[in-house]
Chain A
Amino acid sequence: MSTGGRICCVCHKSLGFEAKTLGGRLYCSEHYANVTKDRKGLWTSGVVEIGGVLAFSALVAFLAWLIKPKFSGTPLIVIGTILALVPAALWMVFFYRQDRLEPEPKRYVIAVFLLGMLLCNAVAIPIVDKLFDVKSWLSTNTWTHIVGSVLVIGMVQEFLKYAAVRYSVYMTPEFDERIDGVVYGTAAGLGFATVLNVNYVIANGGVDLYMGVLRMAVTTLAQASFAGITGYFLGRAKFEVEPVWWQTLGVVLAAVLNGLFGWARGEITQVGLNVNPWWGLLLAGGVAGLTFAALWYLMRRANQITLSGIDASQATAAES
């Protein structure tokens, strides 16, 4: 008896008529059970990551202010590069410690992280810095600054993070839970942040430890948060029948937040030639915390709706 091309939307196995339906998509029993899983480990590691990055950067900045180390040349570049890698390493460690009961395959998370790094260095930086040469015109006036930040920096960065997930792990059966969008999105965002931070160190021939570590923390928290938003939309898109504009909405929302954040950070941290990076750190911590809380709430709500059967009954009603 033909099943009319009914396949699981995750693993693409053929399904019988008893297949589970969720948000208009068909699932095998294994992946149906996975979709609504709420990984506490992810949220815990996220909270620890935000707190850890804030604490680490504040500690290093405080020590640098206290000790005033006199590094220069290669040692300064090496130390700066190590500092640039710390936030991503922290997240990886926390995530795997929390997620060890049912971890995402390490190779996929690392692959998306590396893909994020690659896309950032090979595509995002050349487009933003070379093709659009934003430094030469972005500061012309406030309006140009905001719109330019959103349309160039935000759009390019967030689209590439989206692409890093959408055209890699998203298409594999390993992407089998809604929350995987946030996991892989964050990994892509951290890849971006790492390259931006390392580039910053190398371009400046090393960084002042006090200013540098705070700037790196800001970049990391922001990039990971915005990528988490895109990931949320991707996670929903894969497991529910969302409108055609759904994924676009995710990228645009992340781009707008990215652009506004970039502009706001400049406004509050730099007055003339004065730079006070602590304001930027506060802003980034706040944005990361709020984004994280919003994602946690939305994901929990989506899963609760699904588990309560509202979603299934709506789908059935729509089908009938």
Chain B
Amino acid sequence: MTFQETLTTFWKRLTQVPRDRYAELLVVLVVVVALLFAWGIKAGAEARAVHIEIEGFEASYGHNWIREVSLSPEILKIVDPGSGGRFGTTITVSVLDDAGEAQDVARALNQERILKRELYRSISLETVQLRKRDLLRNEFAYVYVSPDLLNPTVPVVVHGTDYILPQGDVTYVITCMADESVFDEAMVEFDRFLRSVSPG
């Protein structure tokens, strides 16, 4: 088939079957409407999410979370005030310089917490893989006793998970802690947070 014949065929198809023209125009119209609708969803989602970038570390979290003051080595601390339970679900991100192997970091974290927290227990420590990297997951629990002596409350069992992520010269420790009674729900939120994470 020559090029001219091909062009002629194209032209005939375009001009002689108006029904097909309407069909293809409808496809385009539906795609355009879908993308406009998607733009609205994107705008809504961006308004509901807070995107942060701290020292090259990027992540997003829901707008209803409250960002609290974080003390070094923490670079981010957010709390979900609507998480239920008596201990608000808390996510923290810490950056440790020259911290050594992930195992050493986990050991140091556990030792520090044993000294500072009531009945602290490391429940499991395992290596998991993210793309090409090995990282460490440390699961723990402890009893949270409110320091407010004027308004004493019943102590709470806090369940938490650390992800220890070596990245170049630094090590990120991403931690989620939640009231044991709402731990599963908290892990759903934590998953969402982790998926948005882009380490520096």
Contacts and interface: CB of A to CB of B under 8 A. Distances in A.
Contact of A140 (B9, B14, B19, B48): B48
Nearest to B192: A139
A237 B20 contact: yes
Contact of A137 (B10, B49, B129, B132): B49
Interface string A239-268: 001101111100110010000000000100
A166 B161 CA distance: 51
A171 B34 CA distance: 26
B45 A171 contact: no
Contact of B37 (A140, A151, A207): A151
Interface string A142-166: 0010011001100110010010001
Contacts of A244: 19, 22-23, 26
Interface stretch (A46-54, A271-279, A297-305, A307-315): A271-279
B20 to A, nearest CB: 7
B102 to A, nearest CB: 12
Contacts of A58: none
Nearest to A144: B45
Nearest to B135: A273
Nearest to A150: B34
Contacts of A166: 24
* Size class of the contact patch on chain B: 35 or more
A198 to B, nearest CB: 17
B195 A252 contact: no
Interface in B1-30: 1, 6, 8-10, 12-14, 16-17, 19-20, 22-24, 26-28, 30
A184 B48 CA distance: 42
Given A140-B48, A155-B31, A173-B9, A211 B132 contact: yes
A136 B43 CA distance: 11
Contact of A248 (B8, B20, B23, B48): B23
A100 B195 CA distance: 47
A148 B19 contact: no
Interface in B123-139: 128-132, 135, 137
A136 B51 contact: yes
B130 A274 contact: yes
A211 B30 CA distance: 36
B196 A139 contact: yes
B114 interface: no
B109 interface: no
B41 A237 contact: no
B23 A246 contact: yes
A247 B37 CA distance: 21
Interface in B46-77: 46, 48-49, 51, 60, 62
B129 A274 contact: yes
B38 interface: yes
B45 A151 contact: no
B142 interface: no
A148 B194 contact: no
A204 interface: yes
A90 B39 CA distance: 38
B191 A248 contact: no
Contact of A171 (B9, B31, B37): B9
A275 B131 contact: yes
A317 to B, nearest CB: 20
A7 interface: yes
A172 interface: yes
Given A12-B9, A171-B10, A244-B19, A155 B128 contact: no
A251 B30 CA distance: 9
Interface in A1-36: 5, 7, 9, 11-12
Given A136-B60, A211-B131, A273-B197, 4 more contacts: A132-B42, A136-B196, A171-B9, A273-B137
Interface of B: 1, 6, 8-10, 12-14, 16-17, 19-20, 22-24, 26-28, 30-31, 34-35, 37-39, 41-42, 44-46, 48-49, 51, 60, 62, 128-132, 135, 137, 161, 163, 165, 187, 190-192, 194-197
> Can you list the 3 inter-chain pairs with the closest CB atoms, starting with the nearest?
A151-B38, A137-B45, A208-B132
21 contacts: A11-B9, A12-B8, A133-B42, A135-B196, A136-B196, A137-B46, A140-B45, A148-B42, A155-B31, A159-B31, A162-B27, A172-B10, A211-B131, A244-B26, A246-B23, A251-B27, A272-B163, A274-B129, A274-B130, A274-B137, A275-B130
